[in-house]
Amino acid sequence: MQIEPVAYYRGPFGSKFGIPRQSGLSTSLQGRIVFEPEYRRPEALRGLEGFDRIWILWGFSANRQGEWHPTVRPPRLGGNTAVGVWATRSPYRPNPVGLSCVPIGQIDWERTEIHVLGADLMDGTPVYDIKPYLAYADSYPEAREGFAGGAPEAVLEVVIPTEIPLETEERAALAEVLSLDPRPAYQDDPDRIYGMPFAGKEVHFKIKDNVLTVLAYD
């Protein structure tokens, strides 16, 4: 089956680095779903205002897809343990379609855009489908979740000096996202300076003794 993007996600993350591993881990993160001209029809959103949340079906566009591998090594397990691809949300899968549940911030009827919060998506991610979240069919709070074992929590203290030029909302979103520890699981080098594109500029930071300090944003 051939599927085509109906929209693109617009948000502050310019690369994969730093994006939370699932949606909902950061609630101050703001983004927009911008429809392609053919699908920019306000009536196609009619009724969505009654729902709190949507599903986004999107493409893992930032991952080069190669041959299929039956097992993957999830970062949650330290990158050392192989589990079956169907038991993970890994981007390296036969059909690279991602699934994210996000709250609707607001609907911009004039521009026909959906503002969403906390999406684990890179700027420019293609969106293939949007569905309303139906609690009666989609919500199972007691479902066992194997090795995934609950939401990743904030593990770092984040220091963003006041002289770093960030808007209030961007500052909050960045602090929240960085507190989840964007480093690959095996890295712990206090001298290393990390760079991460965020909201059009580059954030530079260091991590030492569980304190992440933002050094520059330019």
Per CB under 8 A, residues contacting a copy of itself are: 1-4, 6, 22-24, 38-39, 41, 43-55, 57, 59, 68, 70-71, 82-89, 93-97, 99-101, 126, 128-148, 150-151
Q: Considering the complex, what minimum distance in angstroms separates the CB of residue 194 from a copy of itself?
A: 25
Q: Which of 179, 214, 175, 169 is nearest to 195 (CA)?
A: 214
Contact present, 63 and 92 (Cβ < 8 Å): yes
Least Cβ distance, residue 8 to a copy of itself (angstroms): 14
Q: How far apart are CA 87 and CA 108, in angstroms?
A: 37
The pair of structure tokens assigned to 163 is 């002289």
Q: How far apart are CA 87 and CA 168, in angstroms?
A: 38
Residue position matching structure tokens 């066992």 = 144
Q: Which CB sits closer to a copy of itself, 30 or 100?
A: 100
Q: Which is nearer to a copy of itself, 135 or 193 (CB)?
A: 135
CB 39 → a copy of itself: shortest distance, Å?
7
Whether the Cβ atoms of residue 38 and residue 115 lie closer than 8 Å to each other: no
- The radius of gyration computed from the CA coordinates of the chain, to the nearest angstrom, equals 18
Closest distance to a copy of itself from the beta carbon of 10 (Å): 17
Nearest CB to a copy of itself, comparing residues 7 and 174? 7
- Closer to a copy of itself by Cβ: residue 1 or 66: 1
